[in-house]
Amino acid sequence: MAIVLALLTVAAAFASDGQGEGGQSVVINFAWRLLNIAVFVAILYKLVGNKAKAFFSGRRAGIRTELENLDARKTEAELRLAEIKQRVAHLDAEREAILEESKAQAEQIKEAILAEARKQAEQIREQALRAAENEGKAAMEQLRAALADEIMAAAEALLQSQLDGARHEKLINNSLTKVVLN
């Protein structure tokens, strides 16, 4: 029945030209139009109202659920961020510890290498000194031997030129006397 009444009202509204036919005033025409809109809204509410309510309340519930999910995800992300920051902070400390340990090891290796180099340098120096000393001794021995040979040759030549048979006999007798007395 409401539909029929709405249709008649709509038909009457369309039929009017807005001038107020048959003594209708503009106010009555406006009232009919308001009634027409009210009926249309009532019919629309009757047919679509529950579905619209369900849609918007469902949409509201969906938005609320999504906001709650986003809050939960935000909280979870903040916790993970704090954990990652803590791990990064520990990584910096761990990196510093590793660097310090590496520096200490490098310093120990450096000291060991330097000590070994000093030891080898000292050994080389000692070997060089011994070699120089040995070469000096050998050169000295060669010089002594050569000098002794030259002195012997010169003495022999001198003795042969100055010594005759009588002097030679006298020299041998003096030498034998010294050996016997001693």
Q: Are 6 and 43 in contact (CB under 8 A)?
A: yes
pTM score of the predicted model = 0.35
Summarised one tens digit per residue, pLDDT across range 112-162 is 999 999 999 999 999 999 998 998 888 888 988 888 888 888 887 877 777
Give the angle subtended at the CA of 37 by the CAs of 31 and 40, to the nearest 5°: 140
The CA distance from 26 to 33, in Å, is: 10
180 within a domain of the structure (yes/no): no
Boundaries of domain holding 48 = 2-159
Total tally of structural domains belonging to the chain = 1
Helix, strand or coil for residue 20? coil
147 within a domain of the structure (yes/no): yes
Summarised one tens digit per residue, pLDDT across range 100-119 is 999 999 999 999 999 999 99
175 within a domain of the structure (yes/no): no
